[in-house]
Amino acid sequence: MIRLFADSEKLPRVLYIVLLSLSGVLILLLITGTVYGLVRSPNAAPLFTLGKSGGTAADPLLDDIRVFPGVGRLRIPIANSSILILSIAFPYQAGDIAFTEELAGKTNELKAIAANYFSALPADKLIQIDEDAAKAEILRRFNAALRLGRIEALYFNDMMILDAGL
């Protein structure tokens, strides 16, 4: 018995054949990929990468070291009504976007940390301050406030005391 399909039945039959063919191709790809993954060496390099590279040593973004200017020049009132003018800078990797955003978001907190440290010092100690000890303590406090990265070095560009008595 020969059965002829009406025009209304041809569309569902064609759709069924297309979907069945696509399913077969997908199953074949999954099986091929699984077998290849099992046979391939565990130390083999990736076949291809999508998007940015995974942070290899040749990545130019990791070599892009910049100086963070966000803390800027601070004017800190000190004990004897003098003013300490201080510029703080430090290097950071511009390719570390999460850490860069954290630094930008915590700029005011970093300024407050530095201001609180210097304003708590007695005026006589501030005149003969050990700059390395001050840098180490501020660096420790900065890193305690940061979660997504660390600051490795800290620089004081300007450090001068303006005496209020003048």
Give tens-digit pLDDT for 49-94. Answer: 777 655 555 555 557 888 888 888 989 888 777 888 889 999 998 8
Q: Which helix (H) or strand (E) holds 162?
A: strand 155-162
Q: Which residues, other chains included, contact 94 with Cβ-Cβ below 8 Å and sequence gap of 6+?
A: 61, 64, 65, 66, 100
pLDDT digits (tens, 9 = 90+) for 86-98: 899 999 988 888 9
Q: Residue 17 corresponds to which tokens in the numbers above? A: 């054949």
Sign of CA dihedral 131, 133, 138, 143: positive
Beta strands per DSSP E along 58-154: 65-77, 83-93
Return the DSSP state at 66. Answer: E
Q: Which residues, other chains included, contact 156 with Cβ-Cβ below 8 Å and sequence gap of 6+?
A: 86, 87, 88, 131, 134, 135
pLDDT band at 140 (very low <50, low <70, confident <90, very high): very high
Report the C-alpha gap between 23 and 140 in whole angstroms.
Answer: 59
Report the C-alpha gap between 101 and 150 in whole angstroms.
Answer: 13
Q: Residue 131 corresponds to which tokens in the numbers above? A: 């700059």
Rg (CA), the chain: 32
Give the pLDDT confidence score for residue 19 in this predicted structure: 93
Most trustworthy range by pLDDT among 21-35, 84-98, 127-141: 21-35
pTM above 0.75?
no
Give the pLDDT confidence score for residue 69 in this predicted structure: 81
**Domains of the chain by start residue, with CATH:** 65-162 (3.30.479.30)
